[in-house]
Amino acid sequence: MRAVIQRVSSARVRVDDEIVGEIETGLLVLVGLGREDQMSDAKSLASKIAGLRIFEHDDKMERSVQDVGGSVLVVSQFTLLGDARKGRRPSFASAMPPNEARPLFDALCQFARNEGLPVETGQFRAHMLVESVNDGPVTILLDTAKLF
């Protein structure tokens, strides 16, 4: 499971001109699910998101989204599994098929809620317009397989 995490002052997702998810201070989490991902990856990633200390206090990044009373906007993005090492068109062969990915995505969101986080989401498999104001900017990459 891969995630791009951005510290934001606001973020929202629109589908067909309707806002389907919106937060103020918190984290925008773009998530890609791979074929090998398991429920344990979802639980581990949710825990990491909840505890990730990337909010500033006394000129250091030492507070989590929970510490600052923030929210999380989780958006499914299979293109994070794109492999563009060969040629010019990315291969998405390592991305989990949608019918398997949806339950795991939903589980990730529930695990994050279980960590005490207010969670909003985009709309799975929809064409979404994602708007965000990256605060810092601060952007962190996570991979449960620890590839980076």
- The catalytic site residues sit at 79
E strand residue ranges, the chain: 2-15, 18-23, 26-32, 55-57, 60-63, 71-76, 119-121, 129-143
Cβ contacts of 42 within 8 Å, gap of 6 or more = 1, 104, 107, 108, 111
Tokens encoding 7: 């510290």
Report yes or no: 48 and 22 within 8 Å, Cβ to Cβ: no
Cα-flanking dihedrals φ and ψ of residue 141, to 5°? Answer: -105, 135
